[in-house]
Amino acid sequence: MALADTLLRIDLSARTVESEKIPEPWLRRFVGGKGLSARYLYDDLAPGTDPLAPENALLFMFGPLTGRTPGGSRYSVVTKSPLTGTFLDSYIGGTFPEPLDFSLSNHLGISFTGSASDPVAIRIADGDATIESAGDLWGKTIPETCANFDSPTSCIGPAGEKLVRYATIASDGGDHHAARGGAGAVMGSKNLKAVIAGDSESDEGTGKSEDHDRYRSTDIGRWQAASETMETIDFANEVGVLPTRGWQESTFEGADDLGIESVRESAVGRERPEDDVSGGFRVESEVGETVPRGATSISLGAGLGIDDFDAVAVLGSVCDNLGLDLISTGNAVAWTMRAVEEGLLERDIEFGDGESARALLEEIAARSSPLGDVLADGIDAATARYSGEELIPTVKGMDLPTYDPRSSPSMALAYATSDRGACHRRARPVLEEVFAAEEWSDDRRAETVIAEQNLRSLLWCLVADDFAGEALWKSGAESEDGENEWLGEIASERSRDELLRIGERVWTLTRLFNVREGFSRRDDSLPPALQRPSRGDERDGERLEKESFDRLLSVYYETRGWDEQGRPTEQLLSRLQLNGVVDECTPVGVD
């Protein structure tokens, strides 16, 4: 399996398109996806670059496993986050990645820099790019934009145009999003409305069939076929980690009305009915067909105290159409509801009120009111303006997503140390810790989080489907030869330990990027909201203690090979072959 070895560079200010060879050592050590994008971002960006300035880079990157694992294909979107100021990587699937990959020919990805003087779209075909005017598309929703083109399209909605700092990049009419952290705002700052894949036909599905049976037989494969992520709310509610009514409670009495059974009753089909891995459930809402995810029911349902699935589906569809990250949007609306309860704001909005929630999220997308304008910059911006920092937990400026970690210190650690701000995709130790017969030690918590972060970092370098990649990796570890067909030449050339070292190397490089931006131990701290008790059945009064968390964080740093301030040490950099990468602007830890 030959890996593409060229990067397409598009300067929107100069309107130039150039191809350049990717250095061979970069391909060997960082592979593709997250890793290769991190290497370029670290090399190309000066410290302190404004994420919304022309100098910021936006990378669309593939990997050797794009389109080669069961489930949906993916590509990575990498940039400096306008919400957090950290390294940001997001992953987006659907029908767009494989045609784009094929249209790029021998290019592994695209780097967009600069800013067009007027709105543009870029059409990719035969390894080249054509820059087209898109002024007539500015202001259109994501479904409207995608419908304008006959070829698969990735685009931003009005939220990205208005530089909402958690705006998304979307494809398939809004079914799929590169969501958290505001990549859509970066695309909007460049006046780039859409990227269109050429008309060439790809060899979709090449290499997938060998592992379909293996994946379907795994626990994750069976779970995905049965419920996709819509069962997340049922699980979170059952074990008492469901963030409810603005993170005040850890269970929701209306969870059953938002869970998997309600979705099955409402569904008109599956996202990929012809595929062995069927994808999400399609439902009809008053604003069009939508594919709700687990985060939809959690953030826009339980989080807002709304137990009407139809109302939640509408909110999710509106977010999808406007290009808003529904997790951050849900938390912004929940913060407002709590701020009104606390007397910090005056507004006619309360928990359970779906109509008022919809009105506010539309104000956020358009920045059409003073409150909407502030909330469009994130919860930390709102607390700086109105106070109320203890209401909704954030890490590095990003609000927490699906799982309340007050009963799972390892999950709190995963949130705190995530490289892009609070994120449940980097590690989900809560899935094990809440069922543990005995309390986990800090060593086990740190080791579990690190192992998951390294593995997912590797999978995002390979650009494998999240669920299929993890399941197949684990099934390979349990097989007699320890290998999988889906790893192909990558596995035959390198041992599993060597592959995991790539994940560790990339995780360390993104940490170096953040350290260079001024992030340190203080930014890995426990949010004030989590130091207050939640309310919820047998876990009533659960909270995290700052002193205990600080000890756990120190164990994590030591296990990682970082110093007490969270800086990777010289010894670690030497072991990971990163000592020649670090520039003089990056503080390095003391061994």
370 part of a folded domain? yes
Helix, strand or coil for residue 457? helix
Which CATH number do you get for residue 538? 1.10.599.10
Instruction: Tell whether 168 and 288 lie within a shared domain.
Output: no
Instruction: Tell whether 47 and 190 lie within a shared domain.
Output: yes
Q: How confident is the model at residue 502 (pLDDT cuts 50, 70, 90)?
A: very high
Which of 119-128, 515-524, 541-550 shows the lowest mean pLDDT across its residues?
541-550
Instruction: Tell whether 387 and 409 lie within a shared domain.
Output: no
Please tell me the total number of residues recorded for the chain in this structure: 591
138 part of a folded domain? yes
Tokens read off for 174: 């809004």
pLDDT of 313 reads 93
Instruction: Tell whether 98 and 164 lie within a shared domain.
Output: yes
Instruction: Tell whether 330 and 243 lie within a shared domain.
Output: yes
Domain that holds residue 337: 225-392
What residues are paired with 576 via a beta bridge?
none
Instruction: Report, as an integer, the average pLDDT of 122-133.
Output: 96
d(CA 103, CA 554): 47
Instruction: Tell whether 101 and 77 lie within a shared domain.
Output: yes
Instruction: Report, as an integer, the average pLDDT of 309-330.
Output: 96
pLDDT of 217 reads 76
pLDDT digits (tens, 9 = 90+) for 47-57: 999 999 999 99
- pLDDT of 1 higher than 50: no
Instruction: Report, as an integer, the average pLDDT of 143-156.
Output: 96
Tokens read off for 14: 């100069």
- pLDDT of 479 higher than 60: no
210 part of a folded domain? no
263 part of a folded domain? yes
Q: How confident is the model at residue 233 (pLDDT cuts 50, 70, 90)?
A: very high
C-beta separation of 185 from 88 below 8 A: no
d(CA 177, CA 82): 17
485 part of a folded domain? no
CB atoms closer than 10 angstroms to residue 507: 24
Which CATH number do you get for residue 11? 3.60.9.10
pLDDT of 252 reads 96
Instruction: Tell whether 47 and 162 lie within a shared domain.
Output: yes
28 part of a folded domain? yes
Instruction: Tell whether 386 and 430 lie within a shared domain.
Output: no
Helix, strand or coil for residue 129? strand
Of the residues 177, 197, 217, the one at which a domain ends: 197
C-beta separation of 398 from 411 below 8 A: no
Instruction: Tell whether 240 and 381 lie within a shared domain.
Output: yes
Instruction: Tell whether 143 and 246 lie within a shared domain.
Output: no
- pLDDT of 476 higher than 60: yes
Higher pLDDT, 550 or 287: 550
Helix, strand or coil for residue 398? strand
SS3 content of the chain, % helix, strand, coil (to 5): 45, 15, 40
**How many structural domains are present in the chain?**
3
pLDDT digits (tens, 9 = 90+) for 447-460: 999 999 999 999 99
359 part of a folded domain? yes
The kind and range of the H/E element at 87 are strand 87-92
- pLDDT of 572 higher than 90: yes
Instruction: Tell whether 420 and 569 lie within a shared domain.
Output: yes
pLDDT of 477 reads 61
- pLDDT of 480 higher than 80: no
pTM for the full predicted model: 0.94
213 part of a folded domain? no
Instruction: Tell whether 357 and 442 lie within a shared domain.
Output: no
